[in-house]
């Protein structure tokens, strides 16, 4: 499963970069979110690859799959072929390919690929992956310069990920809070202000797409509050990476983890924490 997901993500990333280097048209869906030929190309590549596995696929670009059909899915793939389409259109490089394996509502495997940086993040929680984890010594890891490499070469060059786990009581340094480039609203600023009143001035960092969660997973940020709408496919893959790295992705104001395959695929507000 992990080999299939990694290869699909990198193949999709290569197709995305080909379109990224050209002039491309932008369409708009019914919800006014943008759509490009890169989203479509990546979707086709990933779905074709994952169809070789035993599990169904739910992609952002899939035709509508009713809850009545998917409610019986115990294990399935959840895919965002191009997360950060707005960043893709702006050509700032901060977009990702997200592939997650969901089991009983929990992301047990996540692959996040950053095509422009040729960087791959991976996290695994599944019992079926334990042999792989023991052999590699890693549950969450990151690999760079992935372009043109085999999956085996990528894994061999990978380094383990761990969240920062900073002790706020000792004030070792400023709290690093990552915020969305496109959705830093008043509620988010209020949340950050409350953190600063408790822990001192925070260092703010902005990123696009699921890179925000990956920053927490790798320890380059401590907290990511998302008090704005997201869909399940936006978060699932990076959620698995964060959890495997020792962090949490909890519903805002609670300690309950985000769950997946809900009747309504819209996520509640949440906070990603690596401390």
Last residue of a domain, one of 160, 195, 230: 160
Residues 144 and 209 grouped into a single domain: no
pLDDT in tens, 158-216: 999 999 877 666 667 889 999 876 667 889 989 999 999 988 899 998 888 899 999 99
Residues 222 and 123 grouped into a single domain: no
Residues 97 and 205 grouped into a single domain: no
Containing structural domain, residue 53: 2-160
Residues 26 and 156 grouped into a single domain: yes
pTM score of the predicted model: 0.92
Residue 38 in any domain: the answer is yes
pLDDT in tens, 73-106: 999 999 999 999 999 999 999 999 999 999 999 9
CB within 8 A of 136, min separation 6: which ones? 155, 158
Per DSSP (E only), the strands in 45-118 are: 57-59, 75-83, 96-103, 106-114
Residues 255 and 197 grouped into a single domain: yes
pLDDT in tens, 20-62: 999 888 888 877 788 889 999 999 999 999 999 999 999 999 8
Nearest to 76 by CA among 43, 54, 52, 98: 54
CB within 8 A of 199, min separation 6: which ones? 168, 171, 175
Residue 181 DSSP code: S
Residue 194 in any domain: the answer is yes
Number of domains in the chain: 2
């Amino acid at each position: 499963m992990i080999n299939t997901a990694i290869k699909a993500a990198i193949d999709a990333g290569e197709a995305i970069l080909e379109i990224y280097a050209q002039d491309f048209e932008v369409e708009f869906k019914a919800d006014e979110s943008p759509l490009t030929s890169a989203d479509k190309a990546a979707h086709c590549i990933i779905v074709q690859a994952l169809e070789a596995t035993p599990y169904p696929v739910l992609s952002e670009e899939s035709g509508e799959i009713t809850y009545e059909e998917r409610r019986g899915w115990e294990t399935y793939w959840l895919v965002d072929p191009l997360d950060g389409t707005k960043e893709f259109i702006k050509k700032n490089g901060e977009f990702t390919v997200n592939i997650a394996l969901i089991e009983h509502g929990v992301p047990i495997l996540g692959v996040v690929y950053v095509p422009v940086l040729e960087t791959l993040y991976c996290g695994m929680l599944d019992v079926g992956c334990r042999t792989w984890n023991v052999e590699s010594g890693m549950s969450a890891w990151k690999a760079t310069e992935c372009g043109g490499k085999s999956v085996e070469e990528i894994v061999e060059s990978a380094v383990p990920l761990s969240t920062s786990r900073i002790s706020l009581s000792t004030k070792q340094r400023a709290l690093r809070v990552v915020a969305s480039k496109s959705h830093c609203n008043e509620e988010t600023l209020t949340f950050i202000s409350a953190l600063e009143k408790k822990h001192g001035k925070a260092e703010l960092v902005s990123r696009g797409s699921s890179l925000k969660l990956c920053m927490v997973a790798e320890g380059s940020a401590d907290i990511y509050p998302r008090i704005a709408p997201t869909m399940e496919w936006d978060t699932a893959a990076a959620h698995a990476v964060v959890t495997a790295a020792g962090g949490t992705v909890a519903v805002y104001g609670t300690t309950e983890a985000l769950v997946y395959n809900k009747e309504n695929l819209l996520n509640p507000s949440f906070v990603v924490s690596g401390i």
